[in-house]
Each structure stands twice: as structure tokens, then as C-alpha cells.
Amino acid sequence: MHTLLLLAGRSKRFAPLKEKTLWPFLGEPLLAHQLRRMKEGGLENITFVGGHHNLEEVHQLFPKIPSIEQEDLSLGMRGALLSALKEMKGGPVCIVSSNDVIEPEGYRQLIAASQKEGVDGVVLAQRVNRYFPGGYLVTSPNPLRDASTPLAEARSAQHDVPFPRIAGVVEKPGEGKEPSDLVNVVAHIHNHPERLLDMLEDISSTRDDAYEVALTKLCKELNYVAVPYEEKWDAVKYPWDILDITERFLSELVSSGKSQIPNPKSIHPSAVIEGPVILEEGVRVMPHATIQGPCYIGRGTIIGNNCLIRDSIIGEQCVIGYSSEIARSNLHSHVWTHSTYLGDSVIGRNVAFGSGSVVANFRLDEGEISSMVQEEEVNTQRRKLGIMIGSDVRVGIHTSFAPGVKVGEGSFISSATYVSRDVGESKYVHTKEGVLEERENKAEVPGIRSV
């Protein structure tokens, strides 16, 4: 079986962050974690399907894995498969989205179901109890089986329930209009990929659901079944989804019981380290700092005097300056703070915070926090959410941020500013007579500093 790992998406909903598959977790890009899970789950013959915007960097990280460049990025998932399926030389094809993080057992279930007699294709699906902005499966009430197949043999080995037959897929139906409680996880096996290719070539939909339209047509002619998946699933669509993945990997750190302090002499005797904590080479922890695990601190990072770090991933070459607190956050790399509070936040590369910068991460009414995505208000379904900042940003002293605010890369925030809304890329933001104003940032962003 061939496996196509799709990573050509341009991450528009992920703004102000870039390239979700390469975001680092525990010192490795998300893509590395995905590959391990896929291989452990039994997937093989993996090929990347990417775009000109990311394949060069992907090749540098994973030179031994073959790749196919998507010819037309505007066609989304359909375009990726039009470019890739014609390169496949017979046999079943597994299609996996790099944005869907699942456990290896999910892939094992998928493979086992695809090998049952009479099954033409399988789709991994998770039951949800509230609206998710993705594809929903339309199912048939009867499990897949013929008269000669006992019902027991058509049941899932793990959950002992029939595999629901799929009648179609509805992409983003809207809250209250869901055709079922089964959400499509992009881990699919097509036993007749040539039929899928024929369908994709005939589809003329201008929306981003062309693959789902083709799959729906395929389900009317062939036997496709849903494989219910009940373990943890994280879909990386929006920048705040990084926090869910961070929590996932830190939870695995707790389960493993792993801790690592390569050079105890770099930890001041008055510093406190509790729980599972991984410190990479060159990390220094200054007097009276506290690190409450689970935490990961990247290579060469400095944790300054009186700092409190908890439940966070901090990348390499960061300086967490005097009396800063970082809680439940993910800092990419080369981030500098000084007497700063960052809670439930995601910070890009080469970002500096002036002294006294504070992030609000909790509404006064304790309600769920919304965020604007491509001019649409999206409920993050999170009661705690701080800021999401792109790379190469500078924040002046005594600046404060409202919950859920996003700041585009290359922007400068002037001192003593209250940032109550999103800021675009390469903007200079300040407050004038109590009103937030922004203009083009003409200043050059300082380069990365060595710690």
C-alpha cells in the first residue's frame, strides 16, 4: 500500500503563524512526530505531497522520503491528489492529512477495516458532541455485509459496533445542520484509487470541498465504511490549535515519566524544578526560578531570575528574562521576555517583549473566546486563550493584549499600548487619544540575536 501525506496547504487559517507542519514540539517539527505515529501504526511507502512554498525545507529535514509537488495549489486537496495519484503504480492508497494528529492505533484500525471482504474504502471518523468546522459523514443505518457474512464479522474488533456505511460527506454544514455526529478525520484508504482519480478529474466544483464531492459520488457506487476512532484526535486548523498539540505532547511526557537535565551545574541551587522536565544542552536556570513540569526547554535557552515556567514548551535560544511567567504556552525559538506574563499563548520566531508586557487570557464573564479568521468570527471553544504572534515582532514596554488577539509577522507595537484587536503583517501600532491606530511599519526588523 502507498501512503500519501498531504502537506501542500498554505495555512491561511493558521495566520499569523506559518507552516503548521514544521512548528516545533519537544525539539522536533510536527511532521517528525506524524511520521513516527504513521510508521508505528503500520503505514508504509510514505510520499510527501507538498508545494513550492514548503517542499525545499521539508526535503532538508527528511531527505530520504520521496515527494510530489502539487501543480495547482488553488485546487486544494483535489489538486494534491490529481498530482499524486497518477504517480501511484497500482494497489491501495492511504491518504493522510498532516494536520490531523491521531494515535498509531487509529491507523491500525483503518488498515484492518480496509482488508475486510467487500470493502472498497475506509474513512476514519470521530464522534463529536459539539460543532466542529469540518466534514461530516452521511451514514447508512446498515453495516456493510452481505448475506453470507455474519454480523459479528462486520463488527469493529475494538468497539464491537458495526462499521457504518458512508453515503456521503458534507463539508462544514453549519452548527445545527450536521447530518451525523461523525466527523471526517483525513485518514482514508482507497482500495481502488484509479476510481477516485477518475472522479476527481470529472469534478468541476470551485469550492474547497471538491474531494468530498468526489468521495460522495464514489460512495454511491462503491462500499465505503466509517471506522469510528475513540482515542484523542487533534486537528491543526487555527493558530490556537498549537496549544492542544502542546498539551498532548506534554501529557505524553508525563505518561513516559521522562526527565532530562544534561548539566545540573547549569541549574542554580536556589532554582526549583518539579515534575517531568526536559532541558536540552546549554539551558541555564538562574536563581529562584521555578519550572513546574511537564515542560520542555530548548537548546541554549536561559530561564532568568524569579521566573515561573509551567506546562509549556519553550524553543531554542530563548531568553525568559527576570520575573517573567510563561503558562500553558508554546514559544517557537529566539523569544525574549522581561517581566512578562504569557498565558495560553503561541509565539513565533524572533519575537521580543519589553518589560511589563502582559497578556489577558480570560474574559471577565468567563465565556468562550472568539477570534477573527478571514473576516469571519470563529468561536475558539476555549475559555482561556492569550495571544498568537507571528515571527519578527517587537513589543514595547508596558503593552497589554486582550484575549485571543493575533499579531502579524514583522509588526511593531509601541510602548504602553492596549492591543484590543488583531494586527496585520508589517504594521506599526500605537495608541493616540485612547484609540488604537496602525500604519505600515517602515522600520527594519532586527535579526536573530545569539544568547
**From CA 290, how far away is CA 306, in angstroms rounded?**
7
Q: Find the CATH number of the domain harbouring 280.
A: 2.160.10.10
The verdict on 276 and 225 lying in the same domain is: no
DSSP count for the chain of H helices, then E strands = 7, 39
When divided into structural domains, the chain yields a total of: 2
The verdict on 182 and 132 lying in the same domain is: yes
Average confidence (pLDDT) over 145-164: 45
Q: Where are the alpha helices (DSSP H) in 175-223?
A: 193-202, 210-221
Q: Find the CATH number of the domain harbouring 191.
A: 3.90.550.10
Q: Looking at 213, 235, 257, which one is the last position of a domain?
A: 235
317 found inside a domain: yes
The verdict on 74 and 112 lying in the same domain is: yes
Average confidence (pLDDT) over 115-132: 94
**pLDDT at residue 203 in the model:** 84
Between 157 and 401, name the one with better pLDDT. 401
Q: Rounded to 10 degrees, what is the CA torsion of 17, 21, 24, 30?
A: 150
| Pairing, β 393-395 against β 412-413 | parallel
Q: Looking at 218, 235, 252, which one is the last position of a domain?
A: 235
Instruction: Kindly give, in sequence order, each residue whose CB lies less than 8 Å from that of residue 262, ignoring residues fewer than 6 positions away.
Output: 279, 280, 281
Q: Looking at 235, 261, 290, which one is the last position of a domain?
A: 235
pLDDT exceeds 60 at position 450: yes
118 found inside a domain: yes
**pLDDT at residue 10 in the model:** 81
Model confidence at 159, pLDDT cuts 50, 70, 90, reads: very low
Would you say 6 and 95 are in contact if contact means Cβ atoms under 8 Å apart? yes
The verdict on 335 and 414 lying in the same domain is: yes
The verdict on 220 and 281 lying in the same domain is: no
The verdict on 269 and 203 lying in the same domain is: no
The verdict on 387 and 416 lying in the same domain is: yes
- Give the tens place of pLDDT for each residue, 275-305: 999 999 999 999 999 999 999 999 999 999 9
The verdict on 217 and 246 lying in the same domain is: no
The verdict on 285 and 200 lying in the same domain is: no
Residue 151: which domain range?
2-235
